Amino acid sequence: MMIKKLRLFTAFLLFLIVVCFTCTGHAIPPSPPGQSFLKALTSHAKQFSTFSTTTAQYADISINKDYAAIAYFQVYIPDPASSTTDYTLWELNNYTTDDQSETYLYKSWSFSLLLTYASNNVVASGTTIPLNDITGLTKGDKLRLIGGTAETVTITDTPWTHGAQSGVTVSTLQYQHLVNTSVSSIYEFTNTWRADDADGSKEVHFGLEPASTPGSSVSPYMIFYRY
């Protein structure tokens, strides 16, 4: 009897979730969303200026409406790493006005980003990337390779260290990448949420702040997709 009640309760919760999304006119996005899903949405991108201190930077992004139903966003570092690496904890905040203060803070995310580089050449159609640093990387993480033809891959196994060499096993690479190619981990958020604009500017308002001064010059890049 108890199991039956639990199943009914679970089914009811799922029904409420579906109704909630249906009432807003937006479909529940797949997780993670595929390219075909994202292409049907409107994208907005912002590259922040170089961080040399822990001072926050802000971005007011025009959406031409009073709110944005955001289905997906990601943040990574597109800077050249060459012979340097950086592992920094970041905080991304969403505000309801361009007065980016605690009073108008709506949502907040904390995450780490690793900027490193390939310690050897990476071959097309391969599944291995030797890296100078694997700090914080785990199976399932996405990586952005910046040099040559940029591409995104997913780590498919536990990062490894063999002697003095470290690296990751990833989904099949499409392109060749030379030694010292920059590689950034990607932070992504896949749950649909509503970013309100309460000041009539028809913008969404973000702030990005590092917990400590980055060890090298980095200019994080953010892209989000909205209905």
Are both 26 and 39 inside the same structural domain? Answer: no
Are both 71 and 149 inside the same structural domain? Answer: yes
Are both 53 and 116 inside the same structural domain? Answer: yes
Are both 20 and 115 inside the same structural domain? Answer: no
From residue 39, alpha-carbon distances to 45, 151, 224, 225 in Å are 14, 17, 12, 9
Are both 26 and 84 inside the same structural domain? Answer: no
Tell me: pLDDT of 158 over 90. Answer: yes
Are both 48 and 147 inside the same structural domain? Answer: yes
Are both 93 and 189 inside the same structural domain? Answer: yes
Domain total for the chain?
2
Tell me: pLDDT of 151 over 50. Answer: yes
Q: What is the pLDDT of residue 11?
A: 46
Are both 47 and 24 inside the same structural domain? Answer: no
Domain span at 5: 1-30
Report DSSP state, residue 4. H
Mean pLDDT check: name the lowest of 5-14, 106-115, 197-206, 209-218.
5-14
Q: What is the mean pLDDT of the chain?
A: 86
Tell me: pLDDT of 157 over 70. Answer: yes
What is the tens place of the pLDDT at every residue in 6-64? 454 444 444 444 334 434 444 445 455 677 878 889 999 999 999 989 999 999 999 99
Q: What is the pLDDT of residue 1?
A: 53
Are both 21 and 38 inside the same structural domain? Answer: no
Are both 44 and 16 inside the same structural domain? Answer: no
What is the rounded end-to-end Cα distance, in angstroms, of the chain? 42
Are both 86 and 21 inside the same structural domain? Answer: no
